[in-house]
Amino acid sequence: MVSNRLPVTFTVEAGGTRVPALSPGGLVAAVAPSLRGRNAAWVGWDGTDLADPEPLVLDDITLFPVSLDKDLVERHYEGFSNSTLWPLFHDVGVPPEFHDAWWEAYLEVNSRCAKQAARCVSLGGTVWVHDYQMMMVPHLLRQLRPDVVIGYFHHIPFCAPEVLAALPQHSELVAGVAASNIAGFQRDQDRDYFVQASGDSAESMTAKTYPISLDFAEVSRSASDSGVVQRAHELRREWGNPTTVFLGVDRIDYTKGIPERLEAYEALLRSGDINPDDTIMVQAGSPSRENVPSYQALRARIDTIVSRINHDFPRSHGGPAVVFLAQNLEREEMLALFVASDIAVVSSLRDGMNLVAKEFVACKNDNSGVLVLSPHTGAADRMVDAMIADPTNAEELQSAMIRAMRMAPKEQAQRMSALREEVRTHDVAWWASAILEDLASEAKDG
């Protein structure tokens, strides 16, 4: 495996001790379970700038850390990956920035990862490369190791070719991915845009749609652990035993539609459709890419909206109308939030898949609760029993939230059980084996 981040990210304390933490985001959560029992190695950034870090073993996966100095992190991660490619591929109104020095750093990091992968993969083995931070790895690795089978998976949306054309290095980037045997995408639209953008360079490879998922059985089981259930009861008590709890869970990212969601909630408070005394909104947001100016601006905007709502709508028995948890929550606490909530609002402006939608339904073992889901997510392609609402249309989002709040238990149960069945039968093992079986047949044919 090659991805920008390893499944664990380290921070270095004064004195040099490295402290591990689970890496953020859906990629690691989805990919790690699919590697168990496969004698896998994983190459990626370990979050530090320590020279020559030793390989580490996590469960049965060997991690080969690539350490990056501050300058490379700034130009590759904060720069080309998250200030050029991320806004370009999501295309939600944040303008991408173009700097040659960022592209050079991108090539340098991709090359380090390709070299490390070339050193640890066996003869004729398979390398699975992940996401937009690593799009040149298939090409660079192919040059070093023509014997290996290469899969690439694009976790985020792929933009229209005319949008991509604004990037000076668009041809190199697309050819970088086209050097893989198989490139996977979340949605048919993403695959089609890639095929259109790649033209002849993708003639000898396969581009296919594989919608990512999660370990449904594990999430569902963990959500029924007595500790989680008890914590969910405690949370509702802490929130003043509301009749309805709305929930948002995201990395704090401008693609997630967090202001749109909060403003929809605010509009419903102003119109009187929501009474803050019996209803609460909980917004969990893990801080993300905090050195990137567009993320700093978003955080300030969210803080302003939350303060305004909490100022204007005090609850008569105390506590805020919107609980904003801007922190990385422990896994158990996150599951308890899902269990304790009634309505999850996923209002992304554009999102590769959105595993929060799937996590929420996996936690609803009693078939209660409603999912309000943006059509601009990969999840919406198959989770058709959600309340689909476009967050760019304020009225549409508000009426979906009201309808969710008033939905009879019978309809909730019908929709939720259909959603759970969809995610249960299309879980992460289904996703991973679809890709790995296709890669295995490439290895056989090759």
Residues of this chain that interact with ligand F6P (CB under 6 A) are: 4-5, 24-27, 131, 155-156, 288-289
Q: Which amino acid is at 225?
A: D
Question: Cα 297 vs. chain centroid, distance in angstroms?
Answer: 20
Judge whether 306 and 284 are in contact, CB under 8 Å: no
Residue with smaller CB distance to ligand F6P, 73 or 274? 73
Q: Which is nearer to ligand F6P, 75 or 155 (CB)?
A: 155
Judged by beta carbon, residue 84 or residue 244, the one nearer ligand F6P is: 84
Closest separation in Å from C-beta 75 to ligand F6P: 15
Residue (82 or 244) nearer to ligand F6P, CB: 82
* DSSP E strand boundaries for 108-221: 126-130, 149-153, 182-185, 206-209
Nearer of residues 47 and 242 to ligand F6P, judged by Cβ: 47
Positive or negative: CA dihedral 291, 297, 298, 302: positive
Query: Residue 29 Cβ, how far from ligand F6P at the closest point, in Å?
Result: 9
What are the residues whose beta carbons fall under 8 Å from the beta carbon of 3, sequence distance 6 or more?
Answer: 27, 28, 31, 42, 43, 44, 129, 130, 131, 133, 134
Beta strands in 140-269 (DSSP E): 149-153, 182-185, 206-209, 244-251
Query: Side chain identity at 304, as an amino acid letter?
Result: T
Exposed e or buried b per residue across 361-374, where buried means at least 16 C-beta atoms within 10 angstroms of its C-beta? bbbbeebebbbbbb
Question: Closest separation between CB of residue 132 and ligand F6P, Å?
Answer: 7
Q: CB atoms < 10 A from the CB of 192, how many? A: 16
CB nearer to ligand F6P: give 5 or 299.
Answer: 5
Shortest approach of ligand F6P to residue 350 CB, angstroms?
A: 12
Nearest-CB residue for ligand F6P = 25
Backbone region of residue 199 per phi and psi (left: phi > 0; alpha: psi in -120 to 50; beta: other values): left
* Shortest CB 85 distance to ligand F6P, Å: 10
Residues 342, 145: contact at Cβ < 8 Å? no
Kindly tell me which of 253 and 422 has the beta carbon lying closer to ligand F6P: 253
The distance of closest approach from Cβ of residue 292 to ligand F6P in the complex, given in angstroms and rounded to an integer, is 9
**Geometric angle at alpha carbon 440, from 435 and 442, rounded to 5°:** 100
Cα Rg of the chain, angstroms: 22
Least spacing, CB of residue 134 vs ligand F6P, in Å:
9
CA distance 391 to 91: 15
Report the nearest approach of ligand F6P to the CB of residue 289 (Å): 5
Measured at the alpha carbon of residue 217, what is the angle toward residues 386 and 364, in degrees to the nearest 5? 40
**At closest approach, how far in Å is the CB of 25 from ligand F6P?**
2
Report in angstroms how near the CB of residue 74 gets to ligand F6P at its nearest: 13
Nearer to ligand F6P, 26 or 242 (CB): 26
Instruction: Report CA-CA distances (Å) from 297 to 72, 87, 392.
Output: 23, 14, 19
By beta-carbon proximity to ligand F6P, the closer residue of 27 and 400 is 27
Residue 31 or 405 having the CB closest to ligand F6P: 31
Q: Tell me the residue ranges of DSSP E strands in 77-232.
A: 126-130, 149-153, 182-185, 206-209
